[in-house]
Amino acid sequence: MNVIRTAMLLALMTALFMGVGYLIGGEGGMMIAFLIAAGMNLFSYWNSDKMVLRMHNAVEVDERNAPEYYGIVKALAERANLPMPRVYLIDNPQPNAFATGRNPQNAAVAATTGLLQRLSREEVAGVMAHELAHVQNRDTLTMTITASIAGAISMLGNFAFFMGGSNRENNNPLGAIGVLVAIIVAPLAAMIVQMAISRTREYAADRRGAEICGQPMWLASALDKIARGAQAIRNDNAERSPATAHMFIINPLSGEKMDNLFSTHPDTANRIAALQRMAQEFGGGGGAPARPVDPRPAPSAPPRSPQTGPWGTAPRPEQPQPRPSQPQTNPWGRNPTGPRR
C-alpha cells in the first residue's frame, strides 16, 4: 500500500509540474522548464549524496576508528542482505541520523555524535536499521526526485511572478487566474505532496527497520530520545539547509512538533504506537525474525578499555580507569589518527 501511495503521489507531482508549465508559457514554456528540471534531476541523481554529506560536515569512518558503530551497521547490512554502505559521523550534539545515495550499491548512512552519546547500543541498532530500510526501499532516490520536482515547480512559480503575466501569447487558457495559480497554489501543493511522500516512507522504514533489527521497541525507545533531543538541541547545519530535513529520522529543525500537512515527519507518538503494535505482533508469533541482531561488536573485534565505546558508558568502581597511554580523543573511537575534516 505504501508503494502504491508513493507512486500515486509522484504521479500527482509530475502532473502538477506539467500543468504549471502550461499555465505559464503554454507548450513552449512547459518544455523549457521540463528540460531545466531534467538537468536538475540528473545532477541530483549522481551527486545528491555528496552534497548532503558535505552540507552536514560528515566524516567517513571505518572499523579502525569507530569499531562499535561500524560493526553495528555491518551486522545489520548483512542481515538485510544489503551491500555494506559507507559510514559517516557528524560532529553535532543533536541526536539524529539519515541515509543517502541513489541505490543500495552507492549508499551511505550518517549519525551524529549526539546520537552515539545519548542512545544505548540497542537503540543505535534500531536507528541504523531504520536508515538501512530507507536504502533497501530506495527511498533516498524517491525523495531526491520529489525534492527536485518540487524545486522546479517553485522555480516556475517565481518565473510566473516576473514573466507570466506579461506574455499575451502564451496560450494560457485561464489568463491572470492561471498565473496566480502558478504563483501561489502550485508551489504550496507541491510542498504538501512532498511532505506526504516523506511521511509515508517514514512509517514504512520504521516497520522494515524493526524487522531488520528484530526488536521494534529498540527503535521505539530511540525515537522517543531523539525527538526530545531534537527539540532541546539546535542543529545549525540543518537550519542552514532546511531542504535536507526530510532525510533525517526525526525532523532536525526547531519548531516542527505537529503532525499536519506541513510536517516532513509523522508525529513521533504515532510512530512509537505503531512500533508497539508491531512488537505485540512479534510476541504473538506474527512473523518476527528468529532472533534480534546482536548490537555488540563481533568477537574478532579488538578488546575495548572500559570507556572505549562510542556511547560513553562510565566504568564501574571496581574496573580500572583507562591508562594515560590510551587517551580518548573523540566520542566515537580511540584512534587519534582517524579521518579528519
Give which of 186, 155, 152, 146 is closest to 23, Cα–Cα: 186
Question: Is residue 298 in a domain?
Answer: no
Strands 108-112 and 86-90 come out as parallel
Give which of 105, 103, 113 is closest to 134, Cα–Cα: 103
- Sequence-distant (≥ 6) Cβ neighbours of residue 7 within 8 angstroms: none
Please check if 78 is assigned to a binding site. Answer: no
Q: Cβ(62)–Cβ(86) under 8 Å? A: no
Please state, in angstroms and as integers, the Cα–Cα distance from residue 176 to each residue in 66, 161, 183, following that order. 59, 11, 11
Question: Is residue 324 in a domain?
Answer: no
β-strand partners of 89: 59, 111
Name which residue leads in pLDDT, 195 or 100: 100
Question: Is residue 255 in a domain?
Answer: yes
Please state, in angstroms and as integers, the Cα–Cα distance from residue 194 to each residue in 116, 173, 260, 271, following that order. 30, 27, 13, 19
Please check if 265 is assigned to a binding site. Answer: no
Backbone angles phi, psi at 216, to 5 degrees: -55, -30
Question: Is residue 313 in a domain?
Answer: no
Say how far apart CA 336 and CA 303 lie, in whole Å: 17
Question: Is residue 327 in a domain?
Answer: no
The grid coordinates listed for 150 are 518540487
Q: For 199-244, write each residue's pLDDT tens digit.
A: 778 999 999 999 999 999 999 999 999 999 999 999 998 888 777 8
The number of folded domains in the chain is 1
Give which of 44, 50, 197 is closest to 134, Cα–Cα: 197
The grid coordinates listed for 37 are 528540471
- The Cβ-side half-sphere exposure at 266, using a 13 Å CA radius, reads 18
Q: What is residue 138's predicted lDDT score, i.e. its pLDDT?
A: 86
Please check if 281 is assigned to a binding site. Answer: no
Instruction: Quote the domain boundaries for residue 133.
Output: 2-283
Q: Which residues are catalytic?
A: 131
The grid coordinates listed for 279 are 512488537
Highest mean pLDDT out of 118-127, 143-152, 289-298: 118-127
b/e string for 158-167 if b means 16 or more Cβ within 10 A? Answer: ebbeeebbee
Question: Is residue 24 in a domain?
Answer: yes
Query: For the chain, where are the E strands, in sequence order?
Result: 59-61, 86-90, 97-100, 108-112
Please state, in angstroms and as integers, the Cα–Cα distance from residue 71 to each residue in 122, 204, 294, 296, 309, following that order. 13, 25, 10, 8, 12
Question: Is residue 108 in a domain?
Answer: yes
The single-letter DSSP state of residue 322 is: P
Average pLDDT rounded to a whole number, residues 314-321: 38
Average pLDDT rounded to a whole number, residues 40-59: 83
Q: What is residue 152's predicted lDDT score, i.e. its pLDDT?
A: 65
Name which residue leads in pLDDT, 173 or 333: 173
Q: For 62-113, write each residue's pLDDT tens digit.
A: 999 999 999 999 999 999 999 999 999 999 999 999 999 888 999 999 999 9
Question: Is residue 203 in a domain?
Answer: yes
One DSSP character per residue, 150-182 reads HHHHHHHHHHHHHTGGG-TTS--TTTHHHHHII
Give which of 242, 186, 252, 250 is closest to 224, Cα–Cα: 250
Say how far apart CA 117 and CA 94 lie, in whole Å: 10
